[in-house]
Amino acid sequence: MNTKKKVLLSTLTALILGLTGCQSSITVSPDNKQSVVVPKSPSKVVVMNYGALDTLDALGKGSIVTGTPLSVLPSYLEQYKSADITDTGNMKEPNIEAIEKAKPQLIIIDGRQASRTEVLNKIAPVINLSVDAKDYLESTKHHINILGNITGTEEKASNLIQSIEAKITSGRAIAEASDKKAIVAIHNDGKMILINASSSAALIHDVLKVKRAAPFALQPTNSVGKPKPIFIDNSYISKVKPDIIYVVDRSKAIGQSAMSGDFFDSKVLAKSQTKVVYLTPDLWYLSGGGAESLDLQIDEVIDALK
């Protein structure tokens, strides 16, 4: 082969490699506002967001996860407690050094780590897949599609969404046929508080159409416009008489003292005909907004109506 042909071949090879490199990235818009350039089909991903972790699992891409917070890993994701997975700190305080050592090509976070975005961006591209409580279902579907696009599993993502939509349709039919009204409350350190505008309430009331026992606009505000907590106790139950109290036990989810079994007076519950439904704490407080978590959450909500 003469010198000119060798040069031409080298040039063509470089062009091909350059084009391949250009095709190795994808632009995504997690919040439908800001765009982020991320690698296409990454092989190493740190996932600080359990909803994103369970979606990757459902897409058959769990093998690309190189790091995630392990100290409070939800029970339905226990398979990721592995020597191959780096513990990347707790959900509010990412272990930056551990994340660096994991050498991720992509980092997926949620609102708990949003304040560390700038630092994490120095390690790898960051996408925030926080669920929008004002549009819970569309937000979750959007995130599933994003992860499908990133991992090259678009068809599987589409199938997951179709399955979720069918399950929601079925669940809504049960909720709308039921005359039961519910509230959603969170237990934290011995106190029970109404979470009327949370992502949990959005899923239960807005997505699944479980009737509200407490109007959405009921939440009072203080002098600076911030919502005042509404404490759920025996007096509240006697007054509102919800058919169901869906309880998210934050304390138990983070390894602290769980809600006492006699938190509510059994006589008050009986008189008000109120049933307390204890939602799986780590599923509801630490996770949610993922393909697998949403499927499990729908079951827990609808089963209480049957």
What's the start-to-end Cα distance of the chain, in Å? 78
The answer on pLDDT for 161 being more than 80 is yes
Domain boundaries, the chain: 25-158, 179-303
In CATH terms, the fold of domain 25-158 is Rossmann fold (3.40.50)
With contact defined as beta carbons under 8 Å apart, do 241 and 272 qualify?
A: yes
pLDDT tens for each residue of 174-197: 999 999 999 999 999 999 999 988
pLDDT grade for 274, boundaries at 50, 70 and 90: very high
The answer on pLDDT for 72 being more than 50 is yes
Q: Give the C-alpha separation, 272 to 266, whole Å.
A: 10
Burial class (CB in 10 A: 0-12, 13-18, 19+), 22: exposed
Quote helix, strand, coil % in the chain, to nearest 5: 50, 15, 35
Confirm whether pTM is higher than 0.85.
yes
What architecture (CATH level 2) is domain 179-303? 3-Layer(aba) Sandwich (3.40)
Alpha helices in 178-287 (DSSP H): 199-201, 234-240, 250-253, 266-272, 281
Residue 266 to residues 38, 182, 201, 272: CA-CA distances in angstroms? 54, 18, 25, 10
pLDDT tens for each residue of 218-268: 566 666 667 788 999 999 999 999 999 999 999 999 999 999 999 999 999
Q: Residue 167's Cα: distance from chain center in Å?
A: 18
> Are both 25-158 and 179-303 of the same fold?
yes
Pairing of strands 25-28, 36-39: antiparallel
Taking residues 63-79, report their average pLDDT.
96
